[in-house]
Amino acid sequence: MLWRDLKAWQVYGANTDVGKTIVSTILCRVLQRRAPPNGLLYLKPVSTGPQAEADDRHITRYVPGIKSRCISQFSQPLSPHLAAQLDGPSSIPTSDASIVAQVKDLLSQHSQAGGRYAVLETAGGVLSPAPSGSVQADLYRPLRLPTLLVGDSKLGGISTTVAAFESLHVRGYDLDSVVLFDDPKWANHGYLEAHFARHGIPTLALPPPPARRDDPKDDEAVLADYYQACSESASLTDLVDSLQRRHFARVSKLTSMPSQAEAVIWHPFRQHGIPHNIIAIDSAYGDHFQAYNQESDLGLGTPTASALTGLTPLAAQPPAKPLLTPLFDASASWWTQGLGHGNPELALTAAHAAGRYGHVMFAHAVHEPALDIAYNLLSTLQNPRLGRVFFSDNGSTGMEVAVKMALRASSQRYGWNKDDDRGQTPVAILGLKGSYHGDTIGVMNCSEPNVYNEKVDWHQPWGHWFDPPTLLLRNGVWELSLPDEMRPACAVQKFPSLDALFDFPARADDAARYEEHIKTTLDTLVRHQGRRFGALILEPLLMGAGGMFFVDPLFQRSLITVVRSNPELVGSTIHPGSQGEGESKTKREPNNQDWSGLPVIADEVFTGLYRLGRASSSSFLASPTDVVPSTSTSTQQSTSQLQPQPQPPLPAAIAPDISVHAKLLTAGLLPLALTTASEAIFQTFLSSSKTDALLHGHSYTAHPIGCMVANKALDEYRRMDTDGSWDGFRHSWPSSSPSESDPSSSTPPSANVYSFWPLPFVTALSHHPRLRGCFALGTVLVLKLASEGSGYTSTATSSLQSRLLTLLDSDGCGIHSRVLGDIIYFMTSLTTTQKQVERLTKTIMEALNEE
Amino acid sequence: MLWRDLKAWQVYGANTDVGKTIVSTILCRVLQRRAPPNGLLYLKPVSTGPQAEADDRHITRYVPGIKSRCISQFSQPLSPHLAAQLDGPSSIPTSDASIVAQVKDLLSQHSQAGGRYAVLETAGGVLSPAPSGSVQADLYRPLRLPTLLVGDSKLGGISTTVAAFESLHVRGYDLDSVVLFDDPKWANHGYLEAHFARHGIPTLALPPPPARRDDPKDDEAVLADYYQACSESASLTDLVDSLQRRHFARVSKLTSMPSQAEAVIWHPFRQHGIPHNIIAIDSAYGDHFQAYNQESDLGLGTPTASALTGLTPLAAQPPAKPLLTPLFDASASWWTQGLGHGNPELALTAAHAAGRYGHVMFAHAVHEPALDIAYNLLSTLQNPRLGRVFFSDNGSTGMEVAVKMALRASSQRYGWNKDDDRGQTPVAILGLKGSYHGDTIGVMNCSEPNVYNEKVDWHQPWGHWFDPPTLLLRNGVWELSLPDEMRPACAVQKFPSLDALFDFPARADDAARYEEHIKTTLDTLVRHQGRRFGALILEPLLMGAGGMFFVDPLFQRSLITVVRSNPELVGSTIHPGSQGEGESKTKREPNNQDWSGLPVIADEVFTGLYRLGRASSSSFLASPTDVVPSTSTSTQQSTSQLQPQPQPPLPAAIAPDISVHAKLLTAGLLPLALTTASEAIFQTFLSSSKTDALLHGHSYTAHPIGCMVANKALDEYRRMDTDGSWDGFRHSWPSSSPSESDPSSSTPPSANVYSFWPLPFVTALSHHPRLRGCFALGTVLVLKLASEGSGYTSTATSSLQSRLLTLLDSDGCGIHSRVLGDIIYFMTSLTTTQKQVERLTKTIMEALNEE
């Protein structure tokens, strides 16, 4: 929460009984002098103990005329979580959300009424429990108010004060000042002042409050004197000046960020020649950014430097509009978010890895987080082919590694040698039109010429790309559009439900037609045109950056089937000299997981790890007729903490030989990618010569922070997958979860397809006149607008996108979304609530209904 | 510190006065029963207050027969940092290093003597000051003993206990158990038990100790009864069992990591067909790994599972050898380390960014850490050409971006169009033989065919690579070897000092010869062979992964000069249609920082950001005759917190148009890369069409953790660069720092070349018969062994590398180094001390003198 005029601070204590209320009282007295009438609000959201002693009474007594509010007052002088339990069910707000909502309302009203200052006093220490049982510092985190920490002046107070700061710091708070009572005996002030100065935080020592008198009147009098003296001291004036300066500096920084960015930042995927509104993100929490939107900050513009850096409150500003708007992060920050922004558990996990290791090199070395994530991922994916894990930094590099692996494997098997190839086009890949695998040039070469790569001088399209059948929900029916090259069989097929689409046994005719088409095409390419292919690359079910295409899984399945069952179609005659060459190759044992035809690479960077509701998106290509491995492989058994296995292992028939994971892997915190491969692929690189090795490795390979955070993320995902966390979403797709009602049902496992976006909503959208169609899979909702232009360069969706930034819901939240040509998409994290999704559906529908 | 048999724990308190000594006493009593005679050691390294009340006396009284040691006993009952000051200078150890060294010695002796248990009790709270003034949790971090935290059972104790845990967690400790007194009134135990269970940590409640009696005898008796009852309780047995189980689990995990890694990890740059010793890194701190080395753990092998997971101490083990050896990280963890492993400030910074943002998307958005690092880097580099910052994930992707930028700029200026190029080789780059720019295929194409890329199926060598003159120190003289193509002018030139080498005005003849050679070559390539070049790429001064070549900076300077001064040599006729096309291009104003000839890309991923002692390694190419910009550019002025500028701005003559930074950028914590470009390069991509934009962007672009850590790193580097931190190293290269003695000296700025490795040591090495030569630049020391084979595949250096792992110095530390063919290199971080370097030099010389 941030306004230009209203300056609000929260007061935390390093421990209980360190003088939070006394410091708050002094602070309020100084602020009261500077504020207009009713310009100061004191908030004690949670208070425990008898009314008469309550802190807000104390404040009211010693800061005459102050506005004071308490939200949750409990009768017992205990930790709020116990006090709330003891008071039993009542109308007093106890949930974090309800308390935060009331604080927001009170601050907003205060701002509207011309308020200039607010002081929010917390209860107990920084991590003392809130009424709900969560800790205070987590309770108030959505507000992220600047903080004044009351230090502990007793023996041991250095430790508690610094530890309290660290717990606040880890939660992303700005600490503006530390205040503590001066106690020369322990001299904590001197130490703390030096310590906090290193963080740029001033520390102030106050004279200790007078000892308690027996006579209440006396007591009141000496305390009043004390307050009077303190609040008129120069050091308090300095403190408040410093707090104000920091407020103005923050406002100034925030509001000037867009223009400062324009001066030096070269944004990704942005045409800087076209003016664009830049959103300045102050912080983020859960599913929301707290964002400063220049465009919506109308009529104010960037305040002049003097008004912002000076101490004078801004005069004559228009109505007290908040500077920050919460925006739902509907691109999941480019498809990465899993466990919410500003997640304190992830922050602590990252810090623990940093504190234990920093980064340690991974060549010929190993560390626990890397080993753990390798076993954890293999056990999560349940792919019987995969046994090796290679580390890189992002989806693009992970795919580069996958391509290097696959091409070497096929070149070796088929006896292709780069050195004999002078003048020939390199071995190519098989893929799908609309695919996208990253921005490095090697994997750009895995996509057909398109708008992303056409201006990249070194892009070389080395592949053949099938035009895949794709799906859209239109008027409540799933329409499958066949590409031109497969017509005139029938241009559009219709399915009443996703179950019908995923019922592969019932679609045997479709499969036969697909396979025939694929065989014919390959025959032409390989036999007649003499082309060579070294890998089949798929983004299972959903192609992302290429334009959000929902691909018929049966087509992808057919591709794998054809390539694996007909090696003669893709590979040349096996070169006799290339097999069995080198020492280790002769040792190679028969491997029933060996690849056939071509190595199959699954690019699950976007679609894997529960983005579409399942650990592996390759599982959507499985059929109930596939043979499923009965138990985990020995590799997977050796991980010590096996998690429950909600989903059956992937059938080997459709399991990729190489699969690539990133994005959600680290829950949306930092880059890390894992390329997993079969033992057969791995053995391709074995020999007695170093030059045969996969000579790839980034400096930060397997950096411990990434690995440890990824372990935490996978553990959380698997927990949610099995403990019913997503049942509410599953139930909104009733026809797709028959196993819930009848576990003995013969419905194929692939039919358990659902979305976080309720089916009734998606169906309603599919009838909307402004849409050409839509679909939802897992956390992803895709709308295709019924506009003329299409493709990446279309601007048809931008007005809807802009409108969603300012069409605020009942909680005052907008939606930050991304578009791809005529596509606008929305994505939740894995912890988004049903209630939140409901709010989004309302806003989206409202925006579509406008005009 | 870790042994199989000796189990050592440290006891921390959530606050002072929470009962650490009481809990330690109880713990010791239980352990004493299990230990053989003299098998238990109690350590109170730092104690304050009168001797008689000291904790070790208390322990000795209530745990009869215990071995008890105190290292630093101060007389005043104050925080140790004050108590140490008050006691004044004495023989009592007060520095962190001396206390930790004594603890190590005592524990080692105890282990040698057959000790089975040790309990180390800390002083005050977790962050209470040590005698040196650093905090307890930092003091003991090098030992990283498993921890027992005594919780706070008073009101507010939930907050202090959890905060204490978080401060320990951030510092990389393993917390094995929480123990606190049961106080039903505040019921902290219940809350904490649930909280810590989520972290897998058991929490134990003890009955509160008896109230203090007036009569000392009475007091002693009731306390003895209390201890008796507690130590015989089942819950204490459970606690100790649990602590032991965790010890054995840790040993088991550690010792089995190498074999577990063999089963699933695909290591970077490793030929898995060749058996290799895998080092298991338990943790790292400062410059050292704590590593388990299978090979040196001779005679023990991997213990059987039953011996490790059971509760019975391992019987009949050979002498009590520590399982972990500190190894100096002499590759700086693949050239990344800047501020030391396990740095608590960096861990807190990373956590703060995670807590404030997590990751937030960067498309059309901006956040403070990203903006700050953009300005911070520009201001650090002091390159007058650079004004734009693009974010990616590592050096390789950063270079991909640089190549995309440069090729587009030159193609546009010279009117080359990919679509007209059918059949032509793409526009190529100019570089040096031995260069290396990363592992993604696009930048692999920027290097000549070599061992790294020869087996990459898609590698295409698109460039011309000059064979550069390189330097080695041999027998105290700097020898410059000219490549074959530049002979027979003279094969080897000699320089008495680096000053002479860097005195470019005095080497005018060399420059003329270089320029002539470059011009002739370009003329042949472009005019006669019709080749097209789009960028000049250099690793200034030192080429890393390609083989650690110290390149004559005058040759690189000559390359830039020729390319910039003779655009007609490289570019075709300027295509009339390609300039001024598009709206924004017509608006383009004359820019005196425009590139000429070819865009120059500096790959400073390895060499920049103080790896070689300077912010920008391009500065080594500057000559005193160059015109130096007088002031910062306006871009650089707008950063609010300008740091002191120790080094002059780069002269525009040699300043690159694009420069790429990674590795040290994040101080060795996590991946992040910045590609900085000139405004002229940036403007190439401006138009009214989205497809002309640089369509590159990773999901985690500008992730806040990386940006915030990088800001912290640059701030620290610049502080050290200006506050004299490295003066000790500078002074060891006396002839190269004349400006220190005589600031008015006319010595060219480029002469200020020095190394963290003392000149006398490097000179001595250069005379060593086992070396063909050596050199040192900044933090890097390179030895070229006088062996037959050479190049990447040589194994000549591996015996020296192995020997250094086991040749322990007086502190018991080995050296973990990396080799590149016949090269072995050593690298410090930027915080490595002179004392540490001295120890390294002794070990290296000793290892070379063996045989």
Cβ proximity of A355 and B170 under 8 Å = yes
**Three-state secondary structure call for residue B369:** helix
pLDDT reported for residue B671: 98
Nearest CA-CA partner of A779 in A374, A458, A339, A409 = A339
- Predicted local distance difference test score (pLDDT) of residue A589: 43
The encoded tokens of residue A502 equal: 């995923």
Buried b (16+ CB within 10 A) or exposed e, B591-618: eebbbebbbbbbbbbbbbbbbbbbbbbb
Domain identity same for B770 and B712: no
| Domain tally, chain B | 3
d(CA B554, CA B748) in angstroms, rounded, equals: 14
The two three-digit tokens of residue A38, written as one number: 């009713």
Q: What is the pLDDT of residue A496?
A: 93
Alpha helices in A198-233 (DSSP H): 216-231
pLDDT at B625 over 80: yes
Q: What is the CA angle A672-A678-A681, rounded to 5?
A: 100
Q: What's the CA gap between B125 and B150, in Å, rounded?
A: 9
How far, in Å, CA of A655 to CA of A814, rounded? 41
Q: Is A189 within a domain?
A: yes
* Cβ of residue A556 closer than 8 Å to a chain B Cβ: no
- Give the whole-angstrom CA distance, residue A265 versus residue A272: 10
Q: Which two tokens stand for residue B771?
A: 């070396």
User: In this complex, do A125 and B160 lie within 8 Å of one another by their Cβ atoms?
Assistant: yes
What is the distance between the alpha carbons of residues A28 and A23, in angstroms, rounded to a whole number? 8
pLDDT, one tens digit per residue, over B632-684 is 444 444 343 444 445 789 999 999 999 999 999 999 999 999 999 999 999 99
Residue B715 lies in a domain: yes
pLDDT at B246 exceeding the cut of 90: yes
CA–CA separation, B362 vs B370, rounded Å? 9
Q: pLDDT tens-digit profile of A278-290?
A: 999 999 999 999 9
- Establish if B257 belongs to a structural domain: no
Query: Is residue A531, in this structure, part of any structural domain at all?
Result: yes
Asked if residue B826 and residue B694 are part of one domain, the reply reads no
Query: B-chain residues within 8 Å CB-CB of A700?
Result: 334, 336, 394, 670-671
Q: What is the dihedral of CA B538, B540, B542, B547, to 10 degrees?
A: -10
| Euclidean distance between CA atoms B674 and B393, whole angstroms | 8
Mutate to test the interface with A, among B135, B257, B359, B817 (most CBs of A within 10 A): B359
Residue A749 pLDDT > 70, yes or no? Answer: no
CB A14 within 8 A of CB A160: yes
- Report CA-CA distances (Å) from A306 to A300, A374, A627, B684: 15, 55, 73, 37
pLDDT tens sequence across B759-778? 999 999 999 999 999 999 99
Helix (H) or strand (E) run with residue B604 in it: none
* DSSP string for B80-142: HHHHHHHH-S-SS--SHHHHHHHHHHHHHHHHHTT--EEEEEEEEETTPBPTTSSBHHHHTTT
Output the DSSP codes for A663-677: GGGGTTSS--EEEEE
Q: Residues of A with CB below 8 A from B326's CB?
A: none
Q: Give per-residue pLDDT as tens, A284-329.
A: 999 999 999 877 664 444 444 334 433 334 444 455 689 999 999 9
DSSP assignments along A504-531, one per residue: GGGGHHHHHHHHHHHHHHHIIIIIIT--
A598 and A535, same domain (yes or no): yes
- Over 50: is that where the pLDDT of A483 sits? yes
Is B119 in the same domain as B180? Answer: yes
Provide the CATH number for the domain around residue B793: 3.90.1150.10
Mean pLDDT value of segment B716-720: 97
* A316 lies in some domain: no
**Is B268 close to A363, i.e. CB distance below 8 A?**
yes
**B842, B809 Cβ separation under 8 angstroms:** yes
Where is A401: in which H helix or E strand? Answer: helix A395-414
| Domain finish residue from A196, A216, A249 | A249
Orientation angle between helical segments A344-356 and A704-722, nearest 10 degrees: 140
The CATH number that applies at residue B650 is 3.40.640.10
Query: Which residue from B422, B92, B27 is spatially nearest to B239, judged by alpha carbons?
Result: B27
Could you tell me if A117 and A12 lie in one domain? yes
Lowest mean pLDDT among A166-175, A264-273, A307-316, B153-162: A307-316
- Residue in chain A closest to B327 (alpha carbons) equals A360
- Residue A260 touches partner B, C-beta closer than 8 Å: yes
Same domain, B666 and B774: no
**pLDDT category of residue B592 using cuts at 50, 70 and 90:** low
* Chain B partners within 8 Å of A292 (Cβ): none
Q: Indicate the pLDDT class of residue B393, thresholds 50, 70 and 90.
A: very high
**Does the CB of B439 have a partner CB in chain A at under 8 Å?**
yes
User: What is the tens place of the pLDDT at every residue in A379-394?
Assistant: 999 999 999 999 999 9
Q: Which residue has the higher pLDDT, B307 or A571?
A: A571
pLDDT single digits (tens) B784-801 = 998 755 554 456 688 899
Give the residue from B249, B280, B300 where a domain finishes: B249
Say yes or no to pLDDT of B50 above 50: yes
Question: What's the pLDDT band for B851 if we cut at 50, 70, 90?
Answer: low
Give pLDDT tens digits for A32-86: 999 999 999 999 999 988 866 677 789 999 999 999 999 999 988 888 999 998 8
Which residues from A are below 8 Å from B355, CB to CB? Answer: 169-173, 342, 344, 347
B355 lies within 8 A of chain A by CB: yes
Task: Work out the number of other CB atoms within 10 angstroms of the CB of residue B818.
Answer: 21
Give buried/exposed letters for A798-816 (b at 16+ CB in 10 A, else e).
Answer: eebbebbbebbbeeebbbb
Extract the tokens encoding A724: 């019913």
Question: How many beta-carbon contacts under 8 Å exist across A and B?
Answer: 636
Number of H helices, E strands in chain B: 28, 28
pLDDT of the residue at B421: 67
Kind plus residue range of the DSSP H or E element containing B753: none
Q: What's the rounded Cα separation, in Å, for the pair B51 and B59?
A: 13
Q: Let me know whether B32 and B171 are in one domain.
A: yes
Structure tokens at A471: 């799906």
Give the separation between CA A25 and CA A226, rounded to whole angstroms: 11
The answer on A92 and A150 residing in a single domain is yes
Give the position of tokens 């089963």. B263
Q: Looking at the structure, do residues B457 and B385 belong to the same domain, yes or no? A: yes
Residues with Cβ within 8 Å of B605's Cβ and at least 6 positions away in sequence, in order, are B395, B398, B399, B437, B438, B660, B661, B662, B663, B673
Q: How far apart are CA B730 and CA B115, in angstroms?
A: 46
Q: Of chain B residues 362-421, which have a CB less than 8 A from chain A?
A: 362-368, 370-371, 374-375, 378, 387-391, 393-397, 400, 403-404, 407-408, 411, 416, 418
Contact B164, B126 (CB under 8 A): yes
Of B249, B276, B307, which residue sits at a domain end? B249
Spatial contact of B541 and B470, defined as CB atoms under 8 Å apart: no
pLDDT recorded at residue B584: 38
Please state, for a pLDDT cut of 70, what percent of chain B lies above it. Answer: 88
- Percent of chain A exceeding pLDDT 70 equals 88
Residue A617 token pair = 């998106």
Most B-contacting residue of A458, A459, A532, A711 (CB-CB within 10 A), to test interface: A458
* B525/B699 Cα distance (integer angstroms): 40
- Contact at CB, B156 and A128, closer than 8 angstroms: yes
In a domain, B377, yes or no: yes
**Dihedral, CA atoms, B363, B369, B375, B378, nearest 10 degrees?**
-90
Question: pLDDT (tens digit, 9 = 90+) per residue, A514-547?
Answer: 999 999 999 999 999 999 999 999 999 999 999 9
Give the tens place of pLDDT for each residue, B151-196.
999 999 999 999 999 999 999 999 999 999 999 888 999 999 999 9
| Residue B643, domain member (yes or no) | yes
Instruction: Write out chain B residues lying below 8 Å of A170, CB-based.
Output: 166, 170, 348, 351-352, 354-355
Contact residues on chain A for B798, CB-CB shorter than 8 A: none
Q: Which residue range(s) make up the domain with A231?
A: 7-249
Under 8 Å between Cβ of B449 and B462: no
Pick from A191, A265, A460 the residue to mutate for testing the B interface (most B CBs within 10 Å).
Answer: A265
Q: Is the pLDDT of residue B134 over 80?
A: yes
Strands (E), A207-338: 279-285, 288-293, 325-329
- Any bridge partners for residue A674, and if so which? A391, A661
Helix (H) or strand (E) holding A356: helix A344-356
CA pair distance B392, B358, nearest whole angstrom: 17
List the one residue out of B517, B523, B551 whose CA is nearest residue B537: B551
Give yes or no for a contact between B184 and B1, defined as CB atoms under 8 angstroms apart: no
Average pLDDT over residues A95-114: 95
- Determine if residue B406 is left, alpha or beta; phi over 0 gives left, psi from -120 to 50 gives alpha, anything else beta: alpha
For chain B, the average pLDDT equals 89
First to last CA, chain B: 32
pLDDT higher at B595 or B57: B595
What three-state secondary structure class fits B533?
strand
Q: How far apart are CA A826 and CA A840, in angstroms?
A: 9
Instruction: Determine the average pLDDT of the residues in B391-401.
Output: 98
Helix axes A798-806, A834-849, angle to 10 degrees: 120
In terms of DSSP bridges, do strands B771-777 and B780-785 run parallel, antiparallel, or are they unpaired?
A: antiparallel
Which A residues, 23 through 42, put their C-beta within 8 Å of a C-beta on chain B?
Answer: none
Q: What is the largest CA-CA distance in chain B?
A: 106
How far, in Å, CA of A757 to CA of A729, rounded?
A: 7
Mean pLDDT value across residues B606-622: 97
Is A298:A847 a contact under the CB 8 Å cutoff?
no
| A309 Cβ under 8 Å from any chain B Cβ | no
The three-state secondary structure class of B196 is helix
8 Å CB contact between A668 and A332: yes
Instruction: Provide the pLDDT for residue A575.
Output: 43
Residues of A in contact with B363 (CB under 8 A): 267-270, 334, 818
| A511 contact B CB<8A | no
Q: Establish if A130 touches chain B: CB-CB under 8 angstroms.
A: no
Give the C-alpha separation, B239 to B448, whole Å: 62
Q: Is residue A747 part of a domain?
A: no
Res. A579: pLDDT tops 60: no
Same domain, B647 and B759: no
**Pairwise CB contact (< 8 Å): B691 & A454:** yes
- Cis before residue A488, ω within 30 degrees of 0? yes
Residue labelled with tokens 């069992």: B241
Q: Do A792 and B662 touch (CB under 8 A)?
A: no
Beta-bridge partner residues of A329: A816
Average pLDDT, chain A: 89
Q: How far is B510 from chain A (nearest CA, A)?
A: 36
Quick one: B157 and B104 in the same domain?
Answer: yes
Per-residue model confidence as pLDDT tens digits over B190-234 = 999 999 999 999 999 999 999 989 898 999 999 999 999 999 999
pLDDT for position B796: 67
Q: Are residues B714 and B792 in the same domain?
A: no
ipTM of the complex: 0.94
- Listed range (A592-601, A714-723, A794-803, B65-74) with the worst mean pLDDT: A794-803
Per-residue pLDDT at A396:
98
d(CA A626, CA A360): 43
Interface test with A, best of B79, B421, B457 (most A CBs within 10 A): B457
Q: Which two tokens stand for residue B143?
A: 């030992």
What CATH number should be reported for the domain holding residue A98? 3.40.50.300
* Cis peptide bond prior to B488, omega within 30° of 0: yes
What does the DSSP 8-state code read for residue B750?
A: G
